[in-house]
Amino acid sequence: MQLPVAKPVPGLGGSFFTLVPLQQPPVLELLHPEEKAIWDALAAESRKREWWAGRIAARAALLAIDVENAALVRDERGRPRLVGAGTEDALVSVSHGRRWSAALAAKRSADVAGVGVDLVEPEDIVRLRKLASRFLGEGELDGVVDPELGLAAAWAAREAVAKATATGMWAFAMSRVHLDGFQSEGPHLEVDVPGARLAKLRLEDGTLLVGALADRALVDAARAIASQ
């Protein structure tokens, strides 16, 4: 059965973003049996819809890097795990919002040991303003022309790096990742963390999508810091 339309958008280093709208009705026949078991265990219909959309976004992103028939399930610790032929060197990350589920996929390489994606919707800005004093570095948004976009980028960059390093938001990225010379235009997002490459994509509805690639040195360093 053909996947719903989820046009891949190139990111950095051979990675691809994909987006699936949450209003799209779930088609359960598209799920892998292990994915279907997870679906069946979910209680809330809204959670089921976003979970399904996230799996389809992941599948479409993986197809863009020539990985077919992959399924995104959970390992024994509840973390995302890929199963299927050709998934040994595939990396994928998923994020959910009110309107979209997004995914970012890339092939593992000498420069890519982890991927992460996050999306921030316009409605999230109120919450981020309340949290700003807890995560923004001193002067991080000084001179930024669009402060709301800068705030969204600062948060999404941290979330994306946290996912790419599998360290959790508060253990590493919250205090260690800072925007570096943020520019509203253009596809790149610079942070002051060696080994992290970030791309951004702004949708017509104002949603900001940020993807991160982390190299092996960054993943190892972040995990060492997070374990302290």
pLDDT confidence of residue 3: 53
Looking at every residue in the chain, the average pLDDT score rounds to 90
Query: Which among 80, 107, 134 is the end of a domain?
Result: 107
Number of domains in the chain: 2
Query: Which among 87, 107, 127 is the end of a domain?
Result: 107
| Mean pLDDT lowest among 65-74, 147-156, 171-180 | 65-74
pLDDT surpassing 60 at residue 156:
yes
* Sequence-distant (≥ 6) Cβ neighbours of residue 6 within 8 angstroms: 18, 19, 20, 56, 57, 60, 61
What tens digit of pLDDT does each residue of 104-116 get? 999 999 899 999 9
Domain assignment of residue 75, yes or no:
yes
Domain range for residue 16?
Answer: 9-107
Domain assignment of residue 4, yes or no:
no
pLDDT surpassing 60 at residue 204:
yes
pLDDT surpassing 80 at residue 4:
no
Query: Which among 58, 90, 107 is the end of a domain?
Result: 107
Residue 209 neighbours by CB distance under 10 Å: 24
Domain assignment of residue 79, yes or no:
yes
50 and 100 fall within a common domain: yes
Domain assignment of residue 74, yes or no:
yes
Domain assignment of residue 190, yes or no:
yes
101 and 128 fall within a common domain: no
Domain assignment of residue 44, yes or no:
yes
Confidence of residue 1 (pLDDT cuts 50, 70, 90): very low
pLDDT confidence of residue 120: 96
Q: Are 101 and 22 in contact (CB under 8 A)?
A: yes
93 and 133 fall within a common domain: no
Domain assignment of residue 199, yes or no:
yes
202 and 165 fall within a common domain: yes
| Mean pLDDT lowest among 50-54, 125-129, 217-221 | 50-54
Q: Are 213 and 15 in contact (CB under 8 A)?
A: yes
What mean pLDDT comes out for the span 182-206?
Answer: 92
Distance (Å, whole) CA 180 – CA 162: 17
Q: Quick check: helix, strand or coil at residue 179?
A: strand
What tens digit of pLDDT does each residue of 49-100 get? 899 999 999 999 999 999 988 888 887 776 778 988 889 999 999 999 999 9
Write the CATH number for 148: 3.90.470.20
Residue 154 neighbours by CB distance under 10 Å: 26
Name the residue type at position 35.
E
119 and 214 fall within a common domain: yes
Domain assignment of residue 2, yes or no:
no
25 and 89 fall within a common domain: yes
